Each structure stands twice: as structure tokens, then as C-alpha cells.
Amino acid sequence: MCGLDSTFWQNKRVCVTGGAGFLGSVVCRKLRNVGCRNVLVPRSCEYDLTDEQAVARMYVDFAPDIVFHLAAHVGGINANRQNPGLFFHTNLSMGLHLIEHARRNNITKFIQIGTVCSYPRNCPVPFREKSLWDGYPEETNAPYGVAKKALLTMLQAYRDQYGFNGVYVLPVNLYGPRDNMDPQASHVIPALIRKFHQATVDGESVVRCWGTGQPSREFLFVEDAADAILLTGERYDSPQPVNIGTGREIAIRDLAKMIAELVGFEGEIVWDTTMPDGQPRRTLDVTQARQHLNWHAKIDLREGLQRTIDWWANTPQPALASTV
């Protein structure tokens, strides 16, 4: 499976924060499939990761060798606009406590998941890791992006002072089955899938989408992302962040047309230009991932969208609450 070494994982105790979530559940499944006997998932009802004492207790209870910190408070443009303080505090405090107590407990390796939202708003395309500090992030998700980027600095400082083995992974926008489809908080792909699917079911002739449709984005299927993240656990030991993505972008307008086609929606797509577009372009340079991880994405966008649509079409669905 994606070149993973089963002998590396068999006797490791691996903690996956967010292990019951969208990305984390796939990472946990792949760990078990490759022979990891001890996959440890802290649940929020038992361990509030924003609480330092709860984090300290988790390390005592779990005694992990490796930590993948995937837990995050995250959402699309609308969620970021409504919760900038919450997103900043929750994401920074979780990482702050988890990294510090990983150091105190002599954890073998700590893998921090960052975000493409940390890159500067007008970063040259494709985004290269060395450009991360060349400007301020796009305003609609800057608090989230800055909080995540601060954890990169923390890991680098801890490596310099304490020899702490922490690495930082920068995935592009993820999508796939079990994604968050809540119209109040979802990212663009689940939001569009839900809207077009619902319009088809209801026999509607018009679907309204946010913005102009002109910005471009890059999307990575969750299964591919999980493979890359596990490979960083095995192979990546640099203080420098590493991008993971496909290296290919698509305009949101073209994405909407593709989803409409796959869903079977034949009506009109209307763009609400009073709503924000977000960052103009996002696509990553994935040279470092190819060189250091010997990894590349395997699932193309059309196939990944179809698999996500098929999952959603067979999922019991609550009523559509709003437009996104």
C-alpha cells in the first residue's frame, strides 16, 4: 500500500488526534491495514485537546511513540468569517499543548498537519514551501492559517533547542467520502455536491453559487492524502514543511460544471458575485513530496468526485439548510 513499510508500524503505538474524523478515520484504517497493532484515538468527550491538563493526561494514558495531529477546527469561507477567534484559539491551543507535552514525554516523532490557508494571499503559483512567510494569508481564513503556521515555528524552534523530531505537512484542499457536508461549515466540493444533488432530487432548474467562479483551487482525494501523511511518519525528518497535493488546479466555475454533470443536473448555474471569492489561486508545488516521500497522487479529480457523489447519494440526508 503506497510503499508503506509494515515492519516500521507493527510495534509502534500511534496516536491520531482527529482519528474519528474525515481524514483521521482514513489514516487510522490505513495504519491498521499495514499492521499497526496500537492505533490510539483521543475522543473529545474524554480529552479536550485545548485543555493542557487533558493533553498531559492523554500522553500518560496512551504512551504513544508517534503522534499524528490531525484534529482541527476548520470550515469553508462562511465558517471562517463567522468564527475567526474560535478558529484561531482552538487550533493554536491544541497544537501548543500537544507539541509541548510530546516533548516532555520524549515522543519519537510528531507529525503536524498544516493548511494551504497559511500561504500568502498573493503567493506566486505554484506555492513553494519557501514562500510561506512572504506575506499575510487571504483575509477570510487568515486567523486559521496564522494559527497553523505558528505551529510550524514552534516545531522548528523545538527541533533547534531540544532536538524534538517534529515535521510539518501542508496538504491542499481535501475532499472525499465522509467529508463535512454541513452547508454552514463545508468547503467548496461538499457544498457544491450537496447543492447540485439536492437540486436534481427536487427538480430545480437553477443553482446559485457563491462568488464569481473565477478563482482556481487544487483538490486532493482523502485516500491519497492519508498515504502521503503516513509516509511522512516513516520517511520525512526535515524541519522544512512539505506540500502534498496533485499540482493541478481547476477554476471553481469549471469545478461546478463538472459536479453538475456528474450529478446529472441540467439546469442553470447562477453566480452570486456579492459573495466573496477567497484567494484568487491555490495550487502547490509538490516537488519535495516526490523527492522525499516518493509519493504522488493517484486518484484524479473526476474519479474522486464520482466516488464522493456516490457516497453522498447513498447517505441519509437532512434537509438543505442554506446556500453556499
- For residue 176, pLDDT beyond 70: yes
Quick: pLDDT tens for 123-132. Answer: 999 999 999 9
β-pair type (166-171, 242-244): parallel
Give the start-to-end residue ranges of the domains of the chain.
6-178+218-249+280-300
Q: How crowded is residue 161: how many other Cβ atoms within 10 Å of its Cβ? A: 9
Quick: pLDDT tens for 224-250. Answer: 999 999 999 999 999 999 999 999 999
- For residue 31, pLDDT beyond 60: yes
Which uninterrupted H or E stretch holds 98? Answer: helix 84-104
pLDDT reported for residue 2: 65
Quick: pLDDT tens for 126-162. Answer: 999 999 999 999 988 899 999 999 999 999 999 999 9
- Known catalytic residue at 144: yes
- For residue 1, pLDDT beyond 70: no
* pTM over cut 0.85: yes
* 237: helix, strand or coil: coil
User: Which CATH superfamily includes the segment(s) 6-178+218-249+280-300?
Assistant: NAD(P)-binding Rossmann-like Domain (3.40.50.720)
Catalytic annotation, pick one of 47, 59, 144, 158: 144
Residue 291 pLDDT class (50, 70, 90 cuts): very high
- For residue 51, pLDDT beyond 80: yes
Amino acid at 25: S
* 272: helix, strand or coil: strand
pLDDT reported for residue 92: 97
Give the C-alpha distances (Å, rounded to integers) separating 278 from 47, 78, 80, 242, 281.
Answer: 34, 10, 11, 23, 9
- On the question of a cis peptide bond just before residue 177, with omega within 30 degrees of 0, the verdict is no
pLDDT reported for residue 323: 40
* 207: helix, strand or coil: strand
Q: What is the dihedral of CA 274, 213, 116, 68, to 10 degrees?
A: 100
